Amino acid sequence: MPAVVVLVAVLALFALGYRYYSSYLARRVYGLDPDYVTPAHRYSDGVDFVPTNRYVLFSHHFISVAGAAPIVGPAVAVFWGWGPALLWVVLGTVFAAGAHDFGALAVSVRHRAKSIGTLAGEVVGRRAGVLFLVIIFFLLTLVNAVFSVVIANLFVATPSAVLPTLVTIPLAVGVGQYVYRTRSAALLPSLVVLALVYASIPLGLLLPITIDPLAAAVGLTPKTLWIILVFGYAFVASRLPVWLLLQPRDYVNQQQMLVALAVILLGVVVGLDRIVAPVVNDVPDGSPPWFPLLFITIACGAISGFHSLVASGTTAKQLDRETDARYVGYLGALGEGTLALCAILACTAGVAATRADWDALYVDYATASGGATDNFVAGVASFAANLGVPQSVGVVFAAVVIISFASTTMDTGVRLQRYIVQEIAETARFRPLARNLTLATLVAVAVPLALALVPGDFAFGTLWQLFGTTNQLTAGLALAVIAVWVTKSSRNPLAVLVPLVFLLVMTSWALVINLVRFVTADDPVQVFLLAPLDAVIFALALWLIVEASLALRSAWTARTARPAGAAGPAGPADGGRAEEGTAEAAGANPADPAEPAGSGER
């Protein structure tokens, strides 16, 4: 199969999804109002609540969600064949991720930019809110720990990528200062920064940076020291105002993402590479079944609960106009799907020239999982070579791309974990932690740092096996919150309910399969650690199903009890201005001076 045929077909489907389906969601499901005063304006503080141009905000949102996961997941999933992987990426992106990401942003904006965890308590019920906060904290701990390990491993393996990565930080700060002080467009300065970053790649090849001597001097391995340095950076980055580093770095990385996508897509077209992997692979006996594990292996790139954390955690606080939610939320999901498409093409057409070469890279599931990142890097370098880029430069380029995306996700992830720590402390009425930004950030850094520093490959090789199910469970709870809100608003919730039911069934099924595998394994870590954790997550999934069912039934009963023609609390009759429900309606009026959750941190 020519890779270019797959490429054109999928991009055409994504374009149709944005043109028609996202428009339907905006008008008929979420009821966006161009006159609604968003929290970014109502609570503007210059730190977290900052009205932001939709193109700049799209950069932040897209790059924050487009970390290493949409690369690794598809790169592993093609083990079962590129057909199932591609089908899930396309359908999951258009119909599940689009509704999920877009909806999480829309609901949060109508509730003072509160996180999806807090919204679960208000919209679904208090028990669901507590459940969601626990799941979110665990998910963010996994994400931040594992991404720090990914970055550290790449720094150790590719020291030539260190310099291009490091020069991005001060240059991004310069862009942030320039844009914020002059109120100028960020496009031109970000392109200049990107050009400087790429110009530093040859310099990085000449001057590779290692910290081996420093690590030896302090009695640590280079990987351990890099992990500590990465978290030190994340602590500082999450404390800075979003306009100073987070936004400009996201914008620079968006341009880098577009360049990376262009290199891959043009490389496919120019090289006329063929997909050598099988549509459906005849996997060895004893391999995990693709159904239902495919739907948790490819999370980011199809639908991912982490996106709802970003949408409601940082993006909702920066949305300038409510109607921008369609562009930022739905188009961001399509961008993630496009990255997953590129990962599939890199690992089926770019990484190997023949079926035999590909089979050697995907001989079994363990080999496919362990070589996922390397396969992507090699595939991208191959596509770049089609455009005349030397192989050595292509490898560094691909490594810088992954590091940049992973570090940007960590920037946002640590900031989000700080929000969650504050919300948990607020729920527990521990005000010193809830109101102290520095203390909350230290907790947000210390927990995943401790996990990342466990000897061996514990974070990535062990606990990461639970990431997919935890992530999809988070997406299920986010969809439940959205479905209840849409139902209460007297709109059709079917577009949200279908992916909700599908996701909960697949996640629960996958949890059962993994539980059996962990319990019967010879590895004590799987038996005594992964099995109990999997059982706890499965119990939480069942709890979520019960809570969501009760909330949806209550919302539907209240909806049908209204007089014919009456709009819901946030329905068309009030122009979509009021927030949902009764208790959660505090602060619904744009003139209401009520403070948003966590405002005391300022």
Higher pLDDT, 29 or 420: 29
pLDDT tens-digit map of 343-392: 999 999 999 989 999 999 999 998 998 888 889 989 999 999 999 999 88
Distance CA 165, CA 66 (A): 17
459-462-467-470 Cα dihedral, nearest 10 degrees: -120
pLDDT computed for residue 574 by the predictor: 36
Distance CA 286, CA 74 (A): 21
pLDDT tens-digit map of 162-193: 999 999 899 989 988 888 888 887 788 888 99
pLDDT tens-digit map of 94-142: 999 999 999 999 999 999 998 887 888 888 777 778 887 888 888 889 8
Task: Identify the three-state secondary structure at position 207.
Answer: coil
For residue 588, what is the DSSP state? Answer: -
Please name the residue that has the structure tokens 């996961």. 69
Burial of 356 (0-12, 13-18, 19+ CB in 10 A): exposed
**Nearest C-alpha neighbor of 87 from the set 78, 76, 100:** 78
Task: Identify the three-state secondary structure at position 240.
Answer: coil
pLDDT of residue 333 exceeding 90: yes
How much is the pTM?
0.83
pLDDT computed for residue 373 by the predictor: 84
**Joined tokens for residue 288:** 């995990």
Distance CA 197, CA 212 (A): 24
pLDDT computed for residue 315 by the predictor: 92
Please name the residue that has the structure tokens 């919302």. 555
Query: Which range is least confidently modeled, 61-75, 441-455, 480-494?
Result: 61-75
For residue 52, what is the DSSP state? Answer: B
Left, alpha or beta for 525 (phi > 0: left; psi -120 to 50: alpha)? alpha
Average pLDDT over residues 545-553: 88
Distance CA 318, CA 423 (A): 19
**Domain spanning 3-601: which CATH class is it, in words?**
mainly alpha
**Nearest C-alpha neighbor of 131 from the set 486, 499, 543, 443:** 543
Count CA within 13 A, CB hemisphere, residue 506.
27
Average pLDDT over residues 194-213: 92
Distance CA 261, CA 267 (A): 10
* Per-residue pLDDT band at 338 (split at 50, 70, 90): very high
Residues with Cβ < 8 Å from 356, sequence gap 6 or more?
A: none
Residues with Cβ < 8 Å from 328, sequence gap 6 or more?
A: 54, 57, 58, 61, 105, 315, 319
pLDDT computed for residue 2 by the predictor: 92
pLDDT tens-digit map of 28-59: 999 999 999 999 999 998 878 989 889 888 87
Percent of residues, the chain, with pLDDT higher than 70: 92
pLDDT of residue 84 exceeding 70: yes
For residue 579, what is the DSSP state? Answer: P
pLDDT computed for residue 460 by the predictor: 61
Distance CA 36, CA 110 (A): 9
Distance CA 11, CA 562 (A): 43
Query: Which range is least confidently modeled, 36-45, 166-175, 427-436, 443-452?
Result: 427-436
Distance in Å from the first CA to the final CA of the chain:
56
